[in-house]
Amino acid sequence: MTRTGEQSSELDPADGGVEDAALLILEWLGERGVGAMIRVDAERWREGRPAWTFAASGGPLTSGLRADGASVAECMDRALLRLREAGLAVPI
């Protein structure tokens, strides 16, 4: 939501990188009642496994979803694909 309480209609990560886009995606999902998070697992990182995880549930999602990746960019690319497959097209 914007500071005035209005919902934003578009995401515009033009001024930032994937990290800024990830935060905008999380905010957009939250505005729609979806609980979501992105995290890094240090143990998986040390083991050379994909350490980044995106998870979301609630709102218009009929079930929870998860996406993993070796980088935050890979993780978010996979998350966006899974969100679209679940019928929630994030406008980015």
Rounded Cα distance between 53 and 76, Å, is: 9
Q: Quick one: pLDDT at residue 3?
A: 38
pLDDT band of 20, cuts 50, 70, 90: confident
The whole-number average pLDDT for the span 25-49 is 96
For 12, phi and psi rounded to 5 degrees?
-135, 85
Residue 92's pLDDT band, with cuts at 50, 70 and 90, is: confident
Q: State the DSSP string of 21-42.
A: HHHHHHHHHHHTT-EEEEEE-H
Taking a C-beta distance cutoff of 8 angstroms, is the pair 83, 89 a contact? yes
Look at the pTM and tell me if it is higher than 0.85: no
